[in-house]
Amino acid sequence: MKKLNIIVLMLIVLVFAFGCEKNGMEIPDECAHLRVEDGWVPVWCDEFDGDELNEEKWTSLNTSWGGGNNEAQYYHPDNIEVKDGMLVITAKKENYGGKNYTSGRIHTQYKGDWLYGKIVVRAKLPGGRGTWPAIWMLPTMNKYGTWPKSGEIDIIEYVGYDKDRLHGTIHTEKFNHMLGTQLGTSLEYPGITTTFIDYSVIWSPGEITLYVDDFELTKFRYTPEFNQDVKPHQAWPFDQEFHLLINLAIGGNWGGVRGIDPDIFPVSMYVDYVRVYQRDYSSLDKMKPEAISEIKTGNLLKNMIYWKKPNNDLDIEYYEIFLNGEFYDTTRLNAYVFERLKTGTEYQVEIVAVDFTGKKSAATAYTLHYQ
């Protein structure tokens, strides 16, 4: 019986390994202790078990630049420590590089860049008037131009003067704080500065959901019906690789609204771990996507069409667009704006939905009258 159990266990391991390999989702050795749950496979992690920052995963900033927010600190690598199984970012009241404070900021750009997935950061945030810790994401290559055109995902922000209130936000060309149109929400959540909390994001095509522990903070979703005034990427540029940033800012346009309390320093932000997961669709998605329906013409932007996403599929990775029977383009959103075609001409359009396992729907036809 014992031998039989061992054989069964080996078969299960082999099946799982094959599934992950097939989807290019091998689990790194340093993440092997993490469980695979609901098809989420760990692909990148840092448990901060060493005695210094892992420079194969992170870059630490050395700059007086205030992040475009008039922040009061100088970011210096010396303010970053790894000890007792944690990342520690400490802000100090000291003069350096023309600033009155020093602190730390790290990022994973070119070392950890992802398109879609789940990211979990377990952290204890600092309090005190003038502190502004953040866990957030920026595009790696700025596909659509500089900020805010290529987007920003603020998984969590906290300003020390607003005790027990967390903020989650996204910024795009259409929706950003410079215009006063940013999309976000806030939540009163006790224990921010006294306990470790899981801050996470689940990101899929056309949708971003933020969580505080297991509580859904907010969900952002691209809705073409309400964004007919702009090209899809101007409202939703989240179809490109992003990287992770963790920092402790001091002062600035938001964190310093009520000044900086000089008596709180030094003050630290603690991070227990960072874990990145991607979905093993090959083990979850067994259905072929149904054909898309209800292709409509946009009312505000010329030559824009949009459609409903298939309801029967776990997730659609992208759509193939054919023009007069020939392949034309792809899009990750359920909307598209045609450009540089011949004005006054009628085109036969076909759209095919493709899921993350490569299964394709039947084509849906539409007649475009190009203006």
Q: Which of 47, 157, 173, 317 is catalytic?
A: 157
Report the C-alpha gap between 21 and 15 in whole angstroms. Answer: 10
Report the C-alpha gap between 248 and 267 in whole angstroms. Answer: 9
Q: 276 Cβ partners below 8 Å, 6+ apart?
A: 42, 43, 44, 45, 112, 114, 117, 118, 119, 120, 244
Closest CA to 136 of 59, 199, 47: 199
Pairing between strand 99-103 and 73-75? parallel
| Known active-site residue 157 | yes
> What one-character DSSP code corresponds to residue 298?
-
Residue 305, beta-bridge partner list = 297, 336
Which tokens is 173 given? 């060309």
Q: Which of 47, 71, 152, 173 is catalytic?
A: 152
Which tokens is 222 given? 């691209």
| Known active-site residue 30 | no
- Whether 66 contacts 39, CB under 8 Å: no
Active-site amino acid positions: 152, 157
